[in-house]
Amino acid sequence: MKREEPYHLWQAALGQLQMKVSRPIYETWLKDTAGVSCDDGVFVVSAPDVFVAEMLEHRMYELISETLQGMVPSDVDVRFQVARSPAYAEQQALVLEPTSAVATAVAERPEDDASSKNGSAPQPVAQPARLAPHASPLNPKYTFETFILGNSNQLAHAAALAVSERPAITYNPLFLYSGVGLGKTHLLHAIGHRLAAAGLTTIYATCEEFTNEYIKAIREAKTEDFRERYRSADALLLDDIQFLIGKEQTQEGFFHTFNSLHMAARQIIITSDRPVTSLTLLEDRVRSRLGGGLTVDIQHPDLETRQAILRVKADGTGSDFPLEVLAFLAERVHKNVRELEGCLTRVAAYAQMTGSEISIDLVKNALADTLNPSKTNRISEQLVLSTVSSYFSIDEESLKGRRRDKQTALARHVAMFLLREELNLSLAAVGRTMGGKDHTTVLHACTSITAKINVDAYLRRDVINIREALTKG
Q: Does 33 bind Mg ion (CB under 5 A)?
A: no
Q: Does 58 bind ligand ADP (CB under 6 A)?
A: no
Among 10, 43, 147, 175, the residue binding ligand ADP under the rule CB under 6 A is 147
For the bound state, the minimum distance from the C-beta of residue 142 to ligand ADP, rounded and expressed in Å, comes to 6
Distance between alpha carbon 201 and the CA centroid of its chain, in Å? 23
For the bound state, the minimum distance from the C-beta of residue 244 to Mg ion, rounded and expressed in Å, comes to 15
Among 106, 182, 235, 314, the residue binding ligand ADP under the rule CB under 6 A is 182
Alpha-carbon gap, residue 29 to 159, rounded angstroms? 13
Residues belonging to the chain: 473
Sign of torsion over alpha carbons 427, 429, 431, 434: negative
Given ligand ADP, Mg ion, none, residue 130, with its beta carbon under 5 to 8 Å by kind, binds none
Cβ proximity to Mg ion, 79 vs 184, nearer residue: 184
**Any residues with CB less than 8 A from the CB of 439 and at least 6 apart, and which?**
426, 427, 428, 430, 431
Cβ proximity to ligand ADP, 309 vs 442, nearer residue: 309
Given ligand ADP, Mg ion, none, residue 48, with its beta carbon under 5 to 8 Å by kind, binds none
Segment 276 to 315, residues that bind ligand ADP, using CB under 6 A: 309
For the bound state, the minimum distance from the C-beta of residue 290 to ligand ADP, rounded and expressed in Å, comes to 17
Q: Which residue is nearest to ligand ADP (CB)?
A: 183
For the bound state, the minimum distance from the C-beta of residue 44 to ligand ADP, rounded and expressed in Å, comes to 29
Residue 221 burial (10 A CB sphere; 0-12, 13-18, 19+): exposed
Q: Does 334 bind ligand ADP (CB under 6 A)?
A: no
Cβ proximity to ligand ADP, 79 vs 109, nearer residue: 109
Q: Does 178 bind ligand ADP (CB under 6 A)?
A: yes
Cβ proximity to ligand ADP, 180 vs 457, nearer residue: 180
SS3 sequence, 94-162? CEECCCCHHHHHHHHHHHHHHHHHHCCCCCCCCCCCCECCCCCCCCCCCCCCCCCCCCCCHHHHHHHHH
Query: What residue spans of 136-290 are helical by DSSP H?
Result: 154-165, 184-197, 207-219, 223-231, 248-263, 284-290
Segment 103 to 122, residues that bind ligand ADP, using CB under 6 A: none
Alpha-carbon gap, residue 374 to 378, rounded angstroms? 9
Q: Which one of 49-57, 181-189, 350-358, 362-370 is the stretch in contact with ligand ADP (CB under 6 A)?
A: 181-189
Alpha-carbon gap, residue 473 to 467, rounded angstroms? 10
Q: Does 185 bind Mg ion (CB under 5 A)?
A: yes
SS3 sequence, 311-324? HHHHHHHCCCCCHH
Alpha-carbon gap, residue 376 to 382, rounded angstroms? 10
Q: Does 177 bind ligand ADP (CB under 6 A)?
A: no
Q: Going residue by residue from 226 to 265, which x/- string records binding to ligand ADP, judged by CB under 6 A?
A: ----------------------------------------
Q: Does 329 bind ligand ADP (CB under 6 A)?
A: no
Distance between alpha carbon 296 and the CA centroid of its chain, in Å? 6
β partners of residue 246: none
**Any residues with CB less than 8 A from the CB of 232 and at least 6 apart, and which?**
132, 201
Cβ proximity to ligand ADP, 332 vs 338, nearer residue: 338
Among 186, 247, 289, 311, the residue binding ligand ADP under the rule CB under 6 A is 186
Footprint of Mg ion (CB under 5 A): 184-185
Query: In the complex, which residues of this chain contact ligand ADP (CB under 6 A)?
Result: 142, 146-148, 153, 178, 180-186, 309, 337-338, 341
